[in-house]
């Protein structure tokens, strides 16, 4: 069942190629209703006009079936946005900011092939987000401790993976930035309490430092002595590495 929302019944926020489109009425959501019928093509289409750069919230709900939303540019089959349950209670919700002003198609479908029944659609023009903050209130210097080492056959191993352990003492409320780099192997950093080395891992990272390098921020709940373990992703891992720690 296809529906085209006439300009006369839409708020200026969503349709009508008129000067009002540049100044949509925020806080006045448009609602529509429809029904998926028992046939081979169960979907409800609603064509709306959206303004480039404006944020919209599109949501649908149904008590008859598990609804989904898909958003297309009118005349295109490319899905620009899709959602199933972000609106809660198995209802879909999409936040969308078009890059071009024009006609868009909002399609309500069922998550299951046998879904049918009534649904409602809601489209809101949201307030513009405030500009991002660009001016810092101050600066702070950070000092990194640098450790250069290498994994080799003389190092201890667990699960056939060589490792080096480094001591890290943190005071209450203190956190640490830990970066591990290597061009010889895929490095992995693991964190333990000092009295539980190799047991009850608290934190770990593999590739967050870019490429195969590791990076994590460690902010424990309590002060104490910890172990930063330098190891490899694979049992063959060996070679030089550089560990940086900043408190």
What's residue 93's pLDDT?
A: 93
Mean pLDDT by 10 residues, the chain (247 residues): 35 31 46 70 81 90 89 92 87 92 90 85 87 87 92 91 94 92 95 89 92 93 93 93 95
Q: Is the pTM of this model over 0.85?
A: no
Residues contacting residue 174 through CB under 8 Å, at least 6 positions apart: 223, 247
What's residue 141's pLDDT?
A: 82
**Tokens found for residue 39:** 């046939």
Distance CA 38, CA 49 (A): 29
What's residue 90's pLDDT?
A: 83
């Amino acid at each position: 069942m296809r529906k085209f929302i006439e300009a006369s019944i839409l708020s200026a926020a969503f349709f009508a190629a008129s000067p009002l489109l540049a100044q949509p009425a925020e806080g006045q959501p448009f609602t529509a209703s429809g029904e998926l019928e028992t046939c081979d093509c169960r979907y409800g289409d609603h064509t709306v006009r959206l303004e480039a750069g404006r944020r919209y919230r599109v949501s649908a709900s149904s008590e008859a079936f598990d609804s989904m939303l898909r958003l297309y540019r009118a005349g295109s089959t490319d899905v620009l946005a899709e959602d199933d349950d972000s609106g809660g209670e198995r209802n879909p919700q999409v936040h969308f900011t078009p890059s071009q002003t024009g006609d868009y198609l909002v399609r309500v479908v069922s998550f299951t092939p046998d879904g049918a029944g009534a649904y409602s659609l809601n489209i809101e023009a949201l307030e513009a987000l405030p500009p991002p903050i660009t001016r810092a209130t101050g600066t702070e210097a950070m000092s990194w401790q640098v450790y250069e080492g290498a994994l080799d056959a003389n190092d201890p191993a667990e699960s056939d993976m060589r490792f080096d352990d480094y001591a890290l003492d943190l005071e209450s409320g203190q956190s640490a930035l830990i970066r591990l780099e290597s061009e010889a192997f895929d490095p992995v950093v693991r964190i333990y309490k000092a009295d539980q080395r190799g047991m009850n891992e608290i934190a770990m990272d593999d590739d967050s430092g870019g490429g195969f390098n590791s990076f994590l921020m460690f902010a424990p709940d309590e002060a104490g002595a910890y172990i930063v373990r330098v190891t490899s992703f694979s049992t063959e891992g060996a070679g030089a590495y550089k560990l940086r720690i900043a408190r």
